[in-house]
Amino acid sequence: MALTNEQYENIMREYAAIREKNSALLRARREEVRAASPEYRALDTDTGAAFLRALKSRLTGGNDDGADAARIVSRKKALLAVNGFPSDYLDEIFTCPDCRDTGYIGTRKCHCFRRREIAILYGQSHLSELARTENFRMLRDDLFTGEDRQRFLNAAGIARQFAQNFGEKYENLYFYGSVGTGKTFLSVCTANDILQRGFAVIYFSAADLFDRLAAVSFDYSKRAELAALTDDLCGCDLLVIDDLGTELGGTFVAAKLFSLLNERILRRRPTIISTNLTIEDVRTRYSDRVFSRIVSSFTICKLSGPDLRLAMKRVRRNESAPV
């Protein structure tokens, strides 16, 4: 898959707007400092002339070694501190220092560009919609009791820690249990937290994921699209596969699932899986190889209890009922 020209131009316009916003902020800061320190304002006027004299001197063999320009710069930094400003207050401002808000590092797309690209290509608006009602702020454990509650709290704690350590510690999560026990809820909470921190997240239901792979795998004319999709799935910062086991089974799915999980493990790219399938079900439905990768590389969290969705509906109905 590739961006259309219009989609690409929209991203580049977004970068241009970011650069202009940061430039305006830097200009406002400069005026703030100049207003606070008349000496800084005077030196600011002299800085350009001092550097120009030093440059002309070097080009013509003169003896201006730039010491005057360096002295002015040093004094200006000292005046920032004297007037209560941070030493880097007038440094260039970048939302993404890696690409300096251009979207590219050399000829390679920056991670911030890839995040925008993936959000467009894979409809991450769906994840954003889910996150409105499924985020850590909405988490509540009073819908469970006993062992069910303890399992939910344990899984929620693991999910929070996963999100907190993301980018620093490599982990994978496997949430399993009966319908409505909070598997998708915790997956979405975790993915949204990570997405909000600027990482590239791809979120698929298992059925949609394997349908999309099948649509480009058996058509030779779509080999480039298959290569791009595979690279995105294997290379994105976080891949979430929701409801594994709801897709149509078969050797194609088993082979693709193994290939995808194996490649992401080799690249140390985190994956979250939610499913109704127990670990033994995975062995039966897919293969020993898939089973082995999950058992050896994923933190496995079992969830149990009543249907969370139905319980939430009852709670909201009771809370809105007239007293």
258-286: per-residue pLDDT in tens?
Answer: 999 999 999 999 999 999 999 999 999 99
Q: Above 90 in pLDDT, residue 181? A: no
Residue 192 reports pLDDT greater than 70: yes
Residue 171 and residue 160: Cα distance in Å, rounded? 12
Average pLDDT of span 304-316:
67
CA distances from residue 3 to 6, 8, 116, 222, 223 in whole angstroms, order as listed:
8, 6, 11, 15, 17
What are 248's two structure tokens?
């149509």
Q: Spell out the domain ranges in the chain.
A: 5-105, 122-316
- 43: its two tokens: 């030196």
* Helix boundaries (H) for 122-182: 125-131, 146-165
Q: What is the pLDDT of residue 57?
A: 58
Q: Which of 20, 25, 93 is nearest to 33 (CA)?
A: 25
Q: How confident is the model at residue 50 (pLDDT cuts 50, 70, 90)?
A: low
Q: What is the mean pLDDT of residues 30-51?
A: 78
Q: Which residue has the higher pLDDT, 211 or 77?
A: 211
**Amino acid found at 126:** H
Mean pLDDT, the chain, rounded, equals 86
- For range 49-69, the mean pLDDT: 61
Q: What is the pLDDT of residue 12?
A: 96
Lowest-confidence range among 136-145, 146-155, 179-188?
136-145
Please tell me the predicted confidence (pLDDT) of residue 56: 63
- 85-125 pLDDT, tens per residue? 998 998 999 999 999 999 999 999 998 998 888 888 876 54
Task: Pick 172 or 184 by higher pLDDT.
Answer: 172
Is a pLDDT exceeding 60 seen at residue 48? no
3-class DSSP assignment, residue 307? coil
Give the per-residue pLDDT at 197.
85
DSSP letter string, 1-31 = ----HHHHHHHHHHHHHHHHHHHHHHHHHHH
The predicted pLDDT at position 217 comes to: 92
Mean pLDDT confidence for 161-185: 93
Q: What is the pLDDT of residue 79?
A: 86
**Packing angle, helices 251-267 and 223-235, rounded to 10:** 50
Query: So what CATH class is 122-316?
Result: alpha beta
What H or E segment, with its residue span, contains residue 83? none
Q: What is the pLDDT of residue 124?
A: 58
> What is the rounded distance in angstroms from the CA atom of residue 169 to the CA atom of residue 163?
10
Q: Are 274 and 243 in contact (CB under 8 A)?
A: yes
pLDDT, residue 283, reads 94
Q: Does position 196 have pLDDT exceeding 70, yes or no?
A: yes
Q: 272 forms bridges with which residues in the sheet?
A: 173, 240
Alpha-carbon distance of 232 to 226, in angstroms, equals 10
Phi, psi of 57 (to 5 degrees): -65, -45
pLDDT score of 145: 80
Note the Cα 311 to chain centre separation in Å. 31
Does residue 321 register a pLDDT over 60?
no
- Taking phi over 0 as left and psi of -120 to 50 as alpha, with beta for the rest, 167 belongs to left
pLDDT at 198: 83
